[in-house]
Amino acid sequence: MRSSPPIQRLVAALRRLPGIGEKSATRLTFHLLSTPDAQVHELAEAILRLKQEIVLCAECFDLTDASPCAICRDPRRDASQICVVEEPADLAAIESSGGHGGRYHVLGGALSPIDGIGPDELRIADLERRVARGDVREVILATNPTAEGDATAHYLADRLRRSGVRLTRIAYGMPLGGDLEYADPVTVGRSLANRREME
């Protein structure tokens, strides 16, 4: 039996989400059909408002509902320590480890010449500006332990060396090629605590 167009349309839209195949998309669609109207509206509205109300923090470039974000506004956070991550999900992973009391800087990815991502595609100049303001003492390079993440950390260390700030790299408690986003909080906390000076 062929599904009607509205069903096909939602199945096709859900299938574009990560981790959702044809089977899950179909199951979710039929689940929504039997869900009360009010709940379906709430879901649809939450999805729409996500893109309308989330902005980038002008300071750290994390996703937030108000710029500067709660972390950048918090006077208890140590402004002399900036932890540099690739993506907002990595920042979230470090926050849930509870191992960092300073601020963050979200690069927006890692250097990857094959994909056309060079230094100008990342928020590196913004990081330099923050460091140049003078209240930063340490930059923790917490890019992922992948080839791209490592290359990015070394590139940043070279660019920031002149500034005289302490440059550290998170330790490899995590499996090589892993992603902070998917590591457990204890492992993330340990790799932060065991960070080493960049040579």
Residues contributing to the site for Zn ion (CB under 5 A) = 57, 59-60, 69, 72
Least distance to Zn ion, CB of residue 194, Å? 26
The token pair that represents 117 in the structure block: 């991502």
Least distance to Zn ion, CB of residue 110, Å? 20
Least distance to Zn ion, CB of residue 71, Å? 5
User: In this complex, which beta carbon is closest to Zn ion, that of residue 10 or of residue 69?
Assistant: 69
Least distance to Zn ion, CB of residue 191, Å? 22
For the CA atoms of 16, 18, 23, 27, what is the dihedral angle to 10 degrees? -90
User: In this complex, which beta carbon is closest to Zn ion, that of residue 135 or of residue 199?
Assistant: 135
User: In this complex, which beta carbon is closest to Zn ion, that of residue 69 or of residue 136?
Assistant: 69
Least distance to Zn ion, CB of residue 70, Å? 8
DSSP-derived 3-state class of residue 22: helix
Closest CA to 148 of 168, 119, 173: 119
Rounded to a whole number of angstroms, the CA Rg of the chain reads: 20
User: In this complex, which beta carbon is closest to Zn ion, that of residue 72 or of residue 157?
Assistant: 72
User: In this complex, which beta carbon is closest to Zn ion, that of residue 126 or of residue 138?
Assistant: 126
**156: Cβ contacts below 8 Å, ≥ 6 apart:** 84, 124, 127, 139, 141, 143, 167
Q: CA of 24: how far to CAs of 12, 32, 48, in Å?
A: 11, 12, 22
